């Protein structure tokens, strides 16, 4: 599945897009100045996405990749 397909499926399921997740992560203290907070573990972010948005592991990893900066909305 392409990265764009992951984002589309996440938006369909949650009603939230990449910017929404970036803002929510910032509010939760998972990111600082647009970068991952080094004091936060990846598992904490993944668990939040799974618990609050009922995302599966692959979809949670897609959002984590956005927050980490290794992927963006233009990634394939």
Residue range 15-46, pLDDT digits in tens: 999 999 999 999 999 999 999 999 999 999 99
Position 63 pLDDT exceeds 90: yes
Asked if 53 and 62 touch (Cβ cutoff 8 Å), the reply is: no
Element (H, E) at 34: none
- When pLDDT is cut at 50, 70 and 90, the band that residue 1 belongs to is confident
Asked if 10 and 55 touch (Cβ cutoff 8 Å), the reply is: yes
Q: What is the pLDDT of residue 75?
A: 86
> pTM (2 decimals)?
0.94
């Amino acid at each position: 599945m392409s990265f764009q397909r992951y984002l589309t499926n996440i938006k369909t399921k949650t009603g939230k897009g990449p910017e929404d997740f970036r803002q929510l992560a910032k509010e939760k203290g998972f990111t600082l100045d647009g970068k991952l907070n080094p004091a936060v573990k990846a598992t904490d972010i993944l668990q939040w996405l799974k618990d609050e948005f009922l995302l599966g592991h692959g979809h949670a990893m897609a959002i984590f990749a956005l927050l980490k900066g290794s992927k963006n909305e233009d990634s394939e």
